[in-house]
Each structure stands twice: as structure tokens, then as C-alpha cells.
């Protein structure tokens, strides 16, 4: 029986959600999981520096110059090497194929910076999500953590948290508020929920 689920965090950029996960782990908030690997889809992702600062192995699997098949084969090889049980997509902006996702049923979670089903789907990532929310004039947005069992945003929702939109918000200001009030809180909670579930079985 597993005592701790082994977590790989997939990232593409700054890695503030990764930082939240690492801090949560260090302060004992993910007792049923352990972050054993950080995989970045590009070599220059600052998230790799964050991983190194916390003593967690980080690898770049650069999507550029690779076909989808070789990219996913390279990811799978790393996941096997590190005996990973759970994948957390934390600002991972490369698309994973349905074939890849099928190999990890109920084992992949993703954070998205809106209240799904609003402002999600193709082309909706990062600042674009907040720009779309402001353009539509919604007064409340938030973040969602969901299982990834279907591409692109399919899978049961695990956690959501609402965040107010305030007069004068820019996409950057709103992005920061959604991260602080919702994303950095929800993602460690959802990771622990899933790891706890897995280690029970
Ligand atoms: C986060 O806001 C995350 O929710 C978003 O990218 C940002 C990554 O920031 N993900 C998506 O838009 C996925 N569709 P980070 O690298 O600082 O964690």
C-alpha cells in the first residue's frame, strides 16, 4: 500500500502555483503526497529555478522541435523513471492528447483561472482568461481545479473559489487577485484531496 502518492508537477512559465505547492508541502499541508518531479515544457521556465531552490528534481521536456508523440513519450519516460502516481498541471500550457490523458484516469488535475464552464476551452489560458472576463463585464470570477479525463477541460470539478472583480481592474491586477485568493489556496488542497484518496485504495 502507498503511504504517499508521488506527484509530478507540469509547468510552462513562472511557476507561482508550483511555489504554492512546494510551500504547502513544506508546511505539512500535503501529508498524503510528495512532489518528486517538476516537468517544464520549455527550458527557460522560471519554475525550474523554483524547483531547484526547493531541492526538487526538475527536467525540461521542450515541446518545440518535437512531435506530439515524441513529446508525450519523453514525458512518459520521466514519469516512469520517477514512479509518479499523480500529475498536477500548474500553468502547463502544452496540450496533452486524449491518448496520453487516457493512461492517467482520475490521476491528473489542472488549475484554471476562471469559474469553469466560463472562460475556458481552446485559446483560454493565462492573461487571456482575465481579459475575456473583463471584456464580458462579469462581476465575479475565480479559479477551478478539475480532474483531466477529457481534453481540453473535461473532467469532474474538484474545487472552485469565487473572486470579486473590482472597478478599475486590469487583466494583470485581476490575475494577481485570482492567484492570491483562489489558485494558491485551491491547488494544494486539491492535490492533497487526490493523494489522500489514492493512498486509501
Ligand atoms: C495560472 O494563472 C494558471 O491558472 C494558468 O496559467 C497561470 C500560470 O501561472 N493556467 C491556465 O490558464 C490553464 N488553462 P504560474 O506559472 O505562475 O503558476
Band of residue 150 on the pLDDT scale cut at 50, 70, 90 = confident
Q: What is the pLDDT of residues 92-148, one digit of tens each?
A: 999 999 999 999 999 999 999 999 999 998 899 999 999 999 999 999 999 999 999
- Specify the pLDDT at position 97: 94
Whether the pLDDT of residue 151 is over 80: the answer is no
Whole-angstrom distance, CA of residue 62 vs CA of residue 83: 21
State the residue for C-alpha cell 523554483.
50
Mean pLDDT of 59-84: 95
| Alpha-helical segments (H) within the chain | 16-26, 46-53, 68-81, 98-102, 127-136, 171-178, 184-200
Whether the pLDDT of residue 13 is over 70: the answer is yes
Residues 6+ away with beta carbon under 8 Å from 124: 112, 114, 132
Q: Which atom of ligand 1 is nearest to the CA of 113?
A: 4
Burial of 45 (C-beta count, 10 Å sphere; 0-12/13-18/19+): buried
User: Treating both helix axes as pointing N-terminal to C-terminal, what angle do 127-136 and 171-178 enclose, rounded to 10 degrees?
Assistant: 110
User: Treating both helix axes as pointing N-terminal to C-terminal, what angle do 184-200 and 16-26 enclose, rounded to 10 degrees?
Assistant: 60
Ligand 1 contacts CB of residue 45 (under 6 A)? no
C-beta neighbour count of 51 within 10 angstroms: 25
Whole-angstrom distance, CA of residue 144 vs CA of residue 14: 19
Ligand 1 contacts CB of residue 16 (under 6 A)? yes
40: left (phi over 0), alpha (psi -120 to 50) or beta: beta
Q: What is the pLDDT of residues 16-70, one digit of tens each?
A: 999 999 999 999 999 999 999 999 999 999 999 999 999 999 999 998 879 999 9
> Which has the minimum average pLDDT: 136-140, 180-184, 197-201?
197-201
Ligand 1 contacts CB of residue 142 (under 6 A)? no
| 112 has catalytic annotation | yes
Within 13 Å and on the Cβ side, how many CA atoms surround 92? 28
Decide if 132 contacts 117 (C-beta within 8 A). no
Closest CA to 8 of 53, 51, 39, 44: 39
Whether the pLDDT of residue 12 is over 60: the answer is yes
Q: Which atom of ligand 1 is nearest to the CA of 178?
A: 2
**Ligand 1 atom 3: residue of nearest CA:** 91
Amino acid at each position: 500500500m502507498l503511504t504517499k502518492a508521488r506527484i509530478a508537477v507540469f509547468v510552462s512559465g513562472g511557476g507561482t502555483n508550483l511555489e504554492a505547492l512546494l510551500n504547502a508541502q513544506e508546511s505539512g499541508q500535503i501529508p498524503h503526497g510528495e512532489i518528486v518531479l517538476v516537468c517544464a515544457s520549455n527550458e527557460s521556465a522560471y519554475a525550474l529555478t523554483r524547483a531547484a531552490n526547493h531541492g526538487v528534481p526538475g527536467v525540461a521536456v521542450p515541446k518545440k522541435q518535437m512531435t506530439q508523440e515524441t513529446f508525450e513519450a519523453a514525458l512518459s519516460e520521466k514519469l516512469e523513471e520517477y514512479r509518479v502516481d499523480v500529475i498536477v498541471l500548474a500553468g502547463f500550457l502544452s496540450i496533452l492528447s486524449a491518448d496520453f490523458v487516457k493512461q492517467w484516469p482520475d490521476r491528473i488535475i489542472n488549475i484554471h483561472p476562471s469559474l469553469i464552464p466560463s472562460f475556458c476551452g481552446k485559446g483560454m489560458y493565462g492573461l487571456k482568461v482575465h481579459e475575456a472576463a473583463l471584456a464580458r463585464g462579469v462581476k465575479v470570477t475565480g479559479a477551478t481545479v478539475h480532474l483531466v479525463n477529457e481534453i481540453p477541460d473535461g473532467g469532474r470539478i474538484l474545487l472552485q473559489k469565487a473572486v470579486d472583480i473590482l472597478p478599475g481592474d486590469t487583466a494583470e491586477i485581476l490575475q494577481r487577485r485570482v492567484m492570491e485568493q483562489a489558485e494558491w489556496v485551491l491547488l494544494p488542497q486539491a492535490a492533497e484531496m487526490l493523494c489522500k484518496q489514492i493512498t486509501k485504495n
